[in-house]
Amino acid sequence: MCGIVGYIGKKEAVPVLIKGLTSLEYRGYDSAGICVLNENHLNLLKDKGRVKNLENSPNLSQITGNIGIAHTRWATHGVPSKENSHPHLDNSKTFAVVHNGIIENYSILREFLENKGFSFYSQTDTEVIPNLISYYYEKENDVLKATSLALKDLHGSYAIEVISPLLKDKIIVARKDSPLVIGCGILENFIASDIPAVLNYTNKFYFLEDNEIAEVYADKVDFYNLDLDNVTNELKDISWDLASSKKGKFEDYMLKEIYEQPNAVLETIGSRLKANEKCYFDNIDIDLSEINKIYFIACRNCYACWTLFPVYIWAFCKNTYFCWCSIWV
């Protein structure tokens, strides 16, 4: 799990990106990086360590521009290092990409690209993405089309942001099985893995759907499927307040989420519970009182999930016994 942020508008991008990354460090903190488009140049800065290291870099002040992307990493493929940090560039340094997810067939794609003359400088799965886009751009001469073709080659999960000197006034984003939201401001737009990263700028959000691509301009967002047919996406008002999205008195977000579980459950199903009436769930034609067995599959390092979930279920399904399948990670 990693965190990604993007900005396009009239502000300097770097402060927005750094602030967003700081809010997303709960998603990863072993390395961080930013890339900002300034005229025809991609200005890249990344390093091992927490976002604070990036913020304190003497080179950060040299990076200026109004379009940028950023990433805070939780290492999956490749050790924590500067080389494995995002953003990643293609060989021609024309495309910069940040990515949250796992590309399951990256080794096959890497071998394919190496046979086409591409070189790789990291151990990550992500580095195949900008180079795939570059490969298809040489054939199509269209960045959006090249991105869609590259995405069709990927097996696994992704939320990506792409910037390039060829995209002077937009950021291309896409997702499949990894979260990505687009926050809409006035003549500026924000991209993030999670709402709190940009909630202090806007409360109006698009939630990108699986297998959707979007062109994010400062004043509009265009949505497509992977075949580049236009699709619609509803702009939603978010009623969260900024304080509720922060850690508050808790040491970390995990502890906050554990203690908020009773309220989260109540807010989720509370409107469905009425005195002396059954609890109904949309599109689930099941009488919960008739359930007598539940199979519970969990990641065992999540203590709260492991211990508290059966308690919640027991409240609805009396005389039920549980079968556990746990996985240590």
pLDDT digits (tens, 9 = 90+) for 202-223: 999 999 999 999 999 999 999 9
- Residue 25 Cα distances to 12, 115, 186, 217, angstroms: 21, 37, 27, 26
Q: Are strands 96-100 and 88-89 parallel, antiparallel or unpaired?
A: antiparallel
Q: Summarize pLDDT for 174-191 with one digit per residue, the tens.
A: 999 999 999 999 999 999
Q: pLDDT value at position 7?
A: 98
Q: Is residue 112 pLDDT above 60, yes or no?
A: yes
Q: Is residue 54 pLDDT above 90, yes or no?
A: no
Q: Is residue 198 pLDDT above 70, yes or no?
A: yes
Residue with tokens 């959000």: 205
Q: pLDDT value at position 49?
A: 78
Q: pLDDT value at position 85?
A: 83
Q: pLDDT value at position 329?
A: 44
Helix axes of 261-269 and 303-316: crossing angle, nearest 10 degrees? 40
The pLDDT > 70 percentage for the chain reads 76
- Rounded Cα gap, residues 107 and 30, in angstroms: 23
Q: pLDDT value at position 129?
A: 97
Q: Summarize pLDDT for 286-298 with one digit per residue, the tens.
A: 676 777 777 766 6
Among 46, 135, 52, 40, residue whose Cα is nearest residue 98 = 46
- Rounded Cα gap, residues 191 and 216, in angstroms: 9
Q: Summarize pLDDT for 231-280 with one digit per residue, the tens.
A: 999 999 988 766 655 666 777 667 777 777 777 776 666 666 666 666 66
For 156, other C-beta atoms within 10 Å of its C-beta total: 14
The pLDDT > 90 percentage for the chain reads 56
Q: Summarize pLDDT for 67-82 with one digit per residue, the tens.
A: 999 988 766 766 667 7
Q: Which domains does the chain have, with CATH numbers?
A: 3-243 (3.60.20.10), 250-327 (no CATH)
The more confidently predicted of residues 295 and 37 is 37
